[in-house]
Chains A and B, each alone.
Chain A
Amino acid sequence: MGLEGIGARVVRKEDKRFITGAGRYVDDMVVPGMKHAAFVRSPHAHADIESIDVSAARAMPGVIGVLTGREIKADGIGNLICGWMIHSKDGTPMKMGAWSPMATDRVRFVGEAVAVVVAETKADARDAAEAVVVNYRERPAITDAVAALQDGAPQLHPEADNNLIYDWDIGDASAVEKAMASAAHVTTMHLVNNRLVPNAMEPRAALGHYDKAEDHYTCWTTSQNPHVARVVMSAFYNVAPENKLRVIAPDVGGGFGSKIFIYPEEIVCLWASKKTGVPVKWVADRTESFLTDAHGRDHVTEVKLAFDANNRMTAMKVETVANLGGYMSLFSSSVPTYLYATLLSGQYAIPAIHCNVKAVYTNTAPVDAYRGAGRPEATYVVERVVETAARELGVSPAELRRQNFITTFPHQTPVIMAYDAGDYAASLDAAMKAADHAGFPARKAEAASRGKLRGLGMSCYIEACGIAPSQAVGSLGAGVGLWESAEVRVNMAGTIEVLTGSHSHGQGHETTFAQLVSHRLGVPIDQVSIVHGDTDKVQMGMGTYGSRSGAVGMSAIVKALDKVEAKARKIAAHLLEADEADIVIENGELKVAGTDKALPWFQMALAAYAAHNLPAGMEPGLKEGAFYDPTNFTFPAGCYICEVEVDPETGTTEIVQFVAADDFGNIINPMIVEGQVHGGIAQGVGQALLEGCHYDPATGQLITASYMDYTMPRAGDLPSFVVSTTNTPCPGNPLGIKGCGEAGAIGSPPAVINAITDAIGNNDLTMPATPQKVWAAIRAATKH
């Protein structure tokens, strides 16, 4: 593999700039003449806009322009859309309500943009935004998705009766009914997957610049997928044709899904730049992020899991209500359907599954993909109900799982997915060993002697990554294909640039992608630069989300490298007067196998461009591109074991041990993979113990709109994690890799809740399991 090749623990190339304060995020960008935007936002969850008076604001110091929704509409800017069509089970298409970048006559959640002020300074813009007078006529608001479906609930969009966006199902309902009827045991649960705010530490930002001379727009934005932003803003929002719009996402300070979507602010900044004649920058403050970033999760689910007399799973029935907020965000419809219900088989052989999902409008911020997107919700359902079933059946949770594991591959589940490879027992064993599962009873007894309740919970998750085969997702309603592109440019002196449509927002692509090149060509990673995040540099790309950059993005680089190598071999064979088939590429040289004849890589590159002596008919230069379209999803899986101690006096939970054993297939850089797992687990533990997004049900006000109110996991809330990996290489892509970005957030919440409920002897506990809730659950359990 070489010191810097695949599998090496290489320190990151990008770190140098980040640790010295030289990182470049959107808010760091300055363009000559740049001015600042502040948005006027709705203070109401649901109201009609009766009038907007901007005259006082226009007269404020420093103000350049005050613009409203009516003006943006009048200029032909389109409504925001959801790009994944879901049909209800009766065949009708989902009910997409209109979402204007700035509201024209009605607002549907607190924080919705109503007008924008452009001014000399940020402070001037904010002062003037406060002087915009909007008269609202309030309507009753609804924040709870189950309540929103009831007759008489406030109605959000005329298109959606009873606020129902779609009523979708998957699987064989009658087979499930039959199996349930003849089951020896059925475990039933009501589960809530709490609403979360992604909270990338870099708030969203946009800088729009209209260049009059060129009639051309540039948008710097906090995006995980700048090319998608460009095509969506061009084709659907009518901001500018693609060839007149450049989107640049420089360093991006975390995303976790929330920076996939195209939000009103970047559209408005671009449009406002043309309107006002100045470059316009907007940076969210944290409260704006809480109010307007797409939120995650927010499911309410009823699940039934049936067993035969031998404790074999026979059927699962799931009914979920998913809250999508006030409007349908870009990929919102796919999250509670194809990213959720298709994973309900978990790691288990379940012959029949049926799932019904109702997606609902409420007067809350739009909900879309957040780290894991649908898969954490599925895993929570599966792993909570399996653990609960084991308790009801009086068998070991580990053994009940093991007994029902899928053991032969490929395995077709009843819910679309065909698992390609895996060894679930291997990760279960690895985790149990690392957690000293056998020693748990002694630790529990010792904790009891100190007055503490100790509990152990596990979770065996599976997820689908590497999204996704274009034809397959197209047939399921996706508006785009989910391939990736790459271009490998070998420069004249042999250094290499890799242009990729993936875009790192913390994942370390500048290092891992260079490792791949180093592995293949034997050149040091210092001689390889990764170019990404700019639609003018990289021709096309689908971006980074769904743990796809390794499995899909790097596979595209592999394809391009194959072509580069093929041409390089031809050149070397020609110059070395050898047979092309005898040329091997290693350690920065092209060698003739079995001889000492060799051509240094840089000389081959020079020859390619000098073109003095190339094989007959060969074009000069060395630059190749490729598109890679995956043939299947990849299926990372693993086992997480959480051990907690609960203080019965205070209800406080301490995670005393957290073990993760993940199967990610082959690994490029173990250091980076471990980091991804750590971060994912922290977010999952955050969901389980600390984080909850709360709207006041009466007024629709967001109660948790700052770090004073929304509990982010701090260092003191978490232990160090014990992580390890097992490996069944993915057969579907050339590198055998599966993706590791979301596993931690997917697998950990049920492990934590299973551990706490084990400790306190009460299974009735919702996330986040705050001390207050845990204390109450302990009291409730001892009363019976």
Chain B
Amino acid sequence: MSEVKMVVNGRTITGNVEDRTLLVHFLRENLGMTGTHVGCDTSQCGACVVHLDGKAVKSCSILAVQASGSEVVTIEGLADGSDLHPVQAAFREHHGLQCGFCTPGMIMAATDMINRHPEGLDEKTVRAELEGNICRCTGYHNIVKAILAASEVMSKGAAKAA
């Protein structure tokens, strides 16, 4: 067993975990934060994507102990209170989800993608960068639309802030 300490969605958390505990299981089982999902066992599907120190990672491919000392943001911590994050809002507006199972990972991955491309995104880039996220329901059409729309909104927001 090891002690882990991390900041999750702004709250400092400590816990004791088996060494083999994955970050995703720590979040889901120890913290009861079930918004982060598990869709595979080979790090392919991306249902488990969270932000670790500001970067998108698959929380199934990192141990909880490795994340100790880091700052983690999950889907539960993305909105600003009751104000949806622009990516969340765009997924709803553009019907970028059906069953919702891939959605938390999609939204976390998309947010990171948009952050990494302040110059803006095009369809080809979005599709290429979604390589690590599988959705079985939407055919990606509306996910791509949502991400492009969110990217526009966020770059406008950034321009205004500057």
Contacts and interface: CB of A to CB of B under 8 A. Distances in A.
A11 to B, nearest CB: 5
Interface in A682-712: 682-683, 706-708, 712
A708 B103 contact: no
A25 B44 contact: no
Interface stretch (A238-246, A251-259, A326-334): A251-259
B114 interface: no
Interface in A615-638: none
A683 B141 CA distance: 13
Contact of A721 (B34, B47, B131, B139): B139
B38 to A, nearest CB: 7
Contacts of B41: 285-287, 706
Contacts of B34: 21, 24-25, 27-28
B154 interface: no
In terms of DSSP, what is the predominant structure of the interface of chain A?
Answer: loop
Given A707-B40, A715-B127, A720-B144, A18 B100 contact: yes
Interface of A: 11-12, 14-25, 27-28, 30, 123, 199-203, 251-254, 256, 283, 285-287, 505-508, 671-672, 674-676, 678-683, 706-708, 712-716, 718, 720-721, 744
Interface in B16-44: 18, 20, 28, 32-42, 44
Contacts of A506: 98-100, 137
Contact of A253 (B44, B74, B100, B138): B100
Given A12-B95, A27-B38, A254-B137, 5 more contacts: A20-B76, A21-B34, A30-B32, A201-B45, A713-B140
Given A20-B88, A715-B143, A123 B136 contact: no
Contacts of B144: 715, 720
B99 A253 contact: yes
Given A19-B84, A27-B34, A681 B107 contact: no
Interface in B101-158: 101-104, 107, 123, 126-128, 130-131, 133-145
B77 to A, nearest CB: 9
B93 interface: yes
A19 B18 contact: no
A276 to B, nearest CB: 20
Contacts of A199: 136
**Among the interface residues A19, A20, A24, A681, which one has the most CB atoms of the partner chain B within 10 A?**
A19
Given A30-B32, A714-B130, A25 B101 contact: yes
A19 B136 contact: no
A201 B138 contact: no
Contacts of B75: 19-21
Contacts, number: 183
In terms of DSSP, what is the predominant structure of the interface of chain B?
Answer: loop
A203 B95 contact: no
Nearest to A200: B136
Contacts of B37: 25, 27, 201-202, 253
Contact of B139 (A25, A508, A672, A682): A682
Given A675-B142, A718-B139, A706 B99 contact: no
A694 B104 CA distance: 31
A312 B101 CA distance: 48
B50 to A, nearest CB: 10
Contacts of B131: 714-716
A507 B45 CA distance: 21
A253 B134 CA distance: 13
B2 to A, nearest CB: 15
Nearest to B145: A720
A678 B78 CA distance: 28
Contacts of B133: 715
B136 A683 contact: yes
B92 interface: yes
B141 A720 contact: yes
A26 B41 CA distance: 18
B72 interface: no
Contacts of B79: 20
5 contacts: A21-B78, A201-B39, A682-B141, A706-B42, A708-B44
A254 B32 contact: no
Contacts of B107: 19
A203 B39 contact: yes
A18 B98 CA distance: 9
A110 B130 CA distance: 32
B142 A21 contact: no
Contacts of B47: 201
A630 B100 CA distance: 31
A713 B136 CA distance: 8
A14 B100 contact: yes
A514 to B, nearest CB: 16
Contacts of B74: 21
User: Which 9 pairs, one residue from A and one from B, show the smallest C-beta to C-beta distance?
Assistant: A21-B35, A18-B100, A253-B101, A682-B139, A506-B99, A21-B75, A707-B44, A506-B98, A678-B139
